């Protein structure tokens, strides 16, 4: 019992080292401390702390910040941070607390992954434990880089101890994400993950999770054949989830969007307007939304609903990715070369009734013009907005699929997005001379 007690205390100490001081912006690019990473136990505990911080702290701004910019969420408060985000345009300041949280927390998680990778090869452990540890750290670095480049025009691929990290453009960052995930797959192919590591990070199907993100980033990089291949490699009955116990580790979206009469709630119709409004009978409406009479009062007067689905309570698990995303990735990739195949994938999403997570539209086949690429892409966008609701993906989806749309410089409470990318945080500009100029919008 005494050994178990000390182990729990050690886990909490490691986790708190990586979680604490999230408002301390000095040297946010600095890699995590490595004095605890010279043993197998230290490395495994670091991976636990990294997972805990991401799932409880980083995931909240990943969902909320772009969700406010793309109409997924309505704002019922007068607080400055969400008010600035729902207004958007060039008035969004560099010191917005939401975009700053998004940036700093992702860089912190990325730094822990980099420290694990820097130390893993120098520590003796079972081959399958090392391969699992390295594959997971590579996945984690790719994932955090991916979320950064979804929201910011450029991002630093590697953190630097002196805070002077260099920035790379989207194409370079996505290439790094893909390379990291391919390397993770190679690690697991060379040495199958041990039961020890699987038990360290429960709730994950690592091979399917890695291939799912390979499909996501290849699509974003316009590598359509590779995206289809990676999506085909994912078992759609597999589940990978972020786990919560409802007390010390609470579902972070529940915390900001459900608990205690929240100020941020989902907009009616998933925030969609016109031809994108979900069809009557779409089962995903009741999966994600529960009726509410609340209405925004100062930010467009949109009706809002209560969030349910993956966010019903403090202990609800959140998927790392959804099977429906794989179908929609294939639909979009095929839409570039083979519209008939794209239509077939759209219908698999629309007609789905056996989703492993219960995200089932249960609709009839699409009756739109399958010979019109724009119409096909619009149907894909609509289904991505509904199927992947509150996943942090919509800003990237809108920018990629509707690339000809230019957000207004003025305050805008109606358009599908009011920014393309966010300004870099003030603290990053003050501390890092390599920080590039802000995007124009």
106-126 tens-digit pLDDT: 999 999 999 999 999 999 999
- Range in 24-33, 175-184, 321-330, 369-378 the model is least confident about: 24-33
Q: Please provide the size of the chain in residues.
A: 441
Calpha distance 400→403 (Å, rounded): 5
Share of the chain above pLDDT 70, in %: 92
How many CB atoms are closer than 10 A to CB 263?
A: 16
Q: What angle do CA 299, 253, 353 make, to 5 degrees?
A: 100
Average pLDDT over residues 35-45: 90
Name the average pLDDT for the chain.
Answer: 93
Average pLDDT over residues 147-171: 97
Domains with residue ranges and CATH for the chain: 10-204+392-399+408-441 (1.25.40.390)
Specify the pLDDT at position 36: 77
Specify the pLDDT at position 33: 53
The dihedral over CA atoms of 155, 157, 161, 164, expressed in degrees to the nearest 10, equals -40
| pLDDT tier, 6 (very low <50, low <70, confident <90, very high otherwise) | very low
Closest CA to 132 of 60, 221, 224, 195: 195
Specify the pLDDT at position 164: 97
Rounded to 5 degrees, φ, ψ at 290 are -125, 140
Specify the pLDDT at position 15: 42
Specify the pLDDT at position 21: 35
Specify the pLDDT at position 129: 98
DSSP per-residue codes, 369-404: -TT-HHHHHHHHHHHHHHHTTTSS-HHHHHHHHTTT
Calpha distance 49→26 (Å, rounded): 21
Instruction: Find out whether 162 and 229 touch, Cβ atoms under 8 Å.
Output: no
Specify the pLDDT at position 396: 98
């994950």: which residue's tokens? 204
Cα 364 from chain centroid (whole Å): 30
> DSSP assignment, residue 22?
T
Specify the pLDDT at position 297: 85
Specify the pLDDT at position 336: 98
pLDDT at 38 exceeding the cut of 90: yes
The dihedral over CA atoms of 266, 66, 206, 169, expressed in degrees to the nearest 10, equals 170
Strand partners, 303: 295
Closest CA to 111 of 50, 69, 175: 50
For 325, left (φ over 0), alpha (ψ -120 to 50), or beta? alpha
Specify the pLDDT at position 12: 41
Going by C-beta distance under 8 Å and a sequence separation of 6 or more, which residues neighbour residue 240? 203, 204, 205, 206, 208, 209, 212, 319, 320, 321
Calpha distance 17→32 (Å, rounded): 9
Name all contacts of 145-148 with Cβ < 8 Å and 24+ positions apart: 145/110, 145/173, 145/176, 145/177, 145/180, 146/173, 146/174, 146/177, 146/213, 146/216, 146/217, 146/220, 147/58, 147/62, 147/102, 147/106, 147/392, 148/103, 148/106, 148/107, 148/110, 148/173
Calpha distance 98→101 (Å, rounded): 5
pLDDT at 10 exceeding the cut of 60: no
> DSSP assignment, residue 295?
B
Token pair for residue 276?
């994108």
Specify the pLDDT at position 3: 31
Segment 322-371, tens digit of pLDDT? 999 999 999 999 999 999 999 999 999 999 999 999 999 999 999 999 99
Share of the chain above pLDDT 90, in %: 91
Strand partners, 156: 167
Going by C-beta distance under 8 Å and a sequence separation of 6 or more, which residues neighbour residue 190? 131
């Amino acid at each position: 019992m005494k050994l178990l007690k000390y182990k729990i205390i050690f886990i909490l100490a490691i986790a708190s080292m990586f979680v604490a001081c999230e408002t301390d912006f000095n040297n946010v690019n600095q890699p995590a401390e490595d004095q605890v990473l010279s043993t197998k136990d230290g490395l495994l505990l670091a991976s636990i702390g990294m997972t805990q911080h991401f799932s409880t702290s980083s995931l909240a701004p990943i969902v909320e910040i772009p969700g406010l910019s793309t109409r997924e969420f309505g704002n019922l408060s007068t607080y400055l941070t969400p008010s600035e985000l729902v207004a958007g345009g060039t008035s969004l300041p560099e010191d917005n607390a939401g975009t700053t949280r998004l940036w700093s927390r992702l860089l912190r998680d990325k730094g822990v992954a980099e420290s694990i990778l820097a130390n893993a090869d120098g520590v003796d452990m079972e081959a399958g434990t090392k391969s699992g540890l390295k594959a997971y750290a590579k996945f984690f670095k790719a994932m955090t880089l991916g979320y950064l480049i979804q929201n910011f025009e450029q991002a630093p691929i590697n953190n630097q101890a002196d805070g002077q990290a260099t920035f790379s453009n989207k194409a370079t960052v996505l290439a790094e994400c893909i390379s990291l995930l391919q390397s993770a797959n190679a690690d697991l192919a060379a040495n199958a993950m041990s039961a020890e590591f699987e038990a360290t990070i429960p709730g994950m199907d690592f091979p399917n999770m890695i291939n799912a993100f390979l499909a996501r980033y290849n699509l974003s990089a316009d590598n359509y054949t590779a995206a289809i291949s990676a999506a085909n490699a994912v078992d759609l009955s597999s589940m990978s989830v972020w786990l919560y116990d409802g007390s010390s580790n609470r579902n972070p979206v529940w915390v900001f969007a459900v608990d205690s009469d929240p100020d941020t709630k989902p907009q009616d119709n998933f925030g969609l307007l016109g031809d994108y409004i979900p069809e009557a009978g779409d089962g995903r409406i009741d999966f994600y939304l529960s009726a509410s009479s609340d209405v925004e009062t100062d930010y467009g007067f949109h009706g809002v609903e209560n969030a349910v689905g993956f966010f019903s309570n403090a202990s609800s698990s959140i998927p790392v990715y959804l099977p429906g995303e794989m179908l929609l990735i294939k639909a979009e990739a095929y839409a570039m070369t083979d519209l008939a195949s794209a239509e077939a994938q759209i219908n698999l999403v629309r007609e789905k009734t056996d989703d492993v997570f219960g995200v089932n539209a249960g609709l009839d086949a699409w009756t739109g013009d399958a010979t019109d690429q724009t119409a096909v892409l619009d149907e894909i966008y609509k289904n991505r907005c509904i199927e992947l609701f509150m996943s942090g993906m919509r800003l990237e989806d809108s920018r990629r699929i509707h690339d000809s749309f230019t957000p207004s410089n003025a305050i805008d409470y109606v358009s599908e997005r009011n920014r393309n990318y966010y300004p870099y945080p003030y603290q990053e500009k003050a501390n890092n001379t390599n920080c590039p100029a802000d995007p124009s919008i």
